Amino acid sequence: MQVESGNTADIDHRERIWFFPDKFWQATKGMPKDEVSRLMEEVERLAEAKDVQALSKYPFVFVGDPYKKQHNAAYTQAHLD
């Protein structure tokens, strides 16, 4: 799930907030249902407020582009030669 603001033209792609349900369910396995619900409400509230610092403590939330590969300059240069 990706949380977006109302106007998609104003979205900074480096600041997108991504939610990964599989990691959420893994992190909340064994928690009581009401605790899971409260956690989800808190994450939704923080995402709406765009509090990326607070969201960074959750392993199932990612800010930015989770699929963008990190470029290793040495690796890239070696393959260009």
| Count of beta carbons in the 10 Å neighbourhood of residue 18 | 17
pLDDT of residue 68: 76
Query: Which amino acid makes up residue 28?
Result: T
- For 23-39, the pLDDT digits (tens) are 999 999 999 999 999 99
Domain ranges of the chain: 11-80
All residue ranges of the chain with pLDDT < 70 are: 1-14, 69-81
pLDDT at 64: 84
Report strand pairing: 61-63 vs 17-19.
antiparallel
Radius of gyration of the chain (CA): 16
Residues contacting 16, CB < 8 A, separation 6+: 2, 3, 4, 63, 64, 65
